[in-house]
Structure 1
């Protein structure tokens, strides 16, 4: 399974045989550092970064939850910034699916509290698949039941496994 934690930044883990895969340099699953053209996934796919971009463009001081909601009200800047977040995260998920072929991709962190996230991601992944490789495997994306507490609980579980 692959696990994405999306909150202040972006991170995650790859789970193989029920154990966290750390990688040769302890960067396994550090999806936030994934290059997305000239920026990192954390710079493009976190709600905090989305809000910061929106605020820079509008001169307002809104949080990610509010910007996400404004996109549904046809605010053009909010729609643009939300699409940047959704596209970047969908592209990262697509690439992880094609690279590691996990059974599931789990989303945790603050963004996992948004009920519109999974439908938007699935729609964008369908768009990416149709452009890149229509016969590619469609990832199964689910929300983590621990929501915002997922990264802390995961860190404790990893510590318990490795000590």
Structure 2
């Protein structure tokens, strides 16, 4: 019986060790805004155990393409590099922080990441093979667009509209008319 308990305890310790490989302690909800000046490319890692999305600008496109979380950290999913379509995108706060201007940071693979979003729902094929059909996330951003930028707007009912943000044709009740 003691050997079975020892085996189970060892297995749990090894599993937890693998689950958190590559990470160090977190700094929760501190008032240091991430450097996103000039719309840099964001490199995302998704913690598939916790459903958390972490982003850093501390990589080059080439170095990130060559990076792999490795077999000791199968819960880290390397997402595609991100660069916003908006003229300006500002992260307001990390999920779980009660006020704008507060962010949670973590060192992952010797780089400083901040917590940008929580995945609250995934439908479809999930994260396997880099395919994500649809996801719902909890994130806090402000997006600013130039008046002549063309954008696609998707409403909660699934309808899509395209046009400059301030010049979409509207019906008498104020709804956009330029359906895709």
Higher relative contact order (CA 8 A, sep 6+): 1
Q: State the TM-score, normalized to the length of structure 2.
A: 0.21
Q: State the TM-score, normalized to the length of structure 1.
A: 0.22
Indicate the structure with greater strand content.
2
Higher Cα Rg, which structure: 2
Indicate the structure with greater helix content.
1
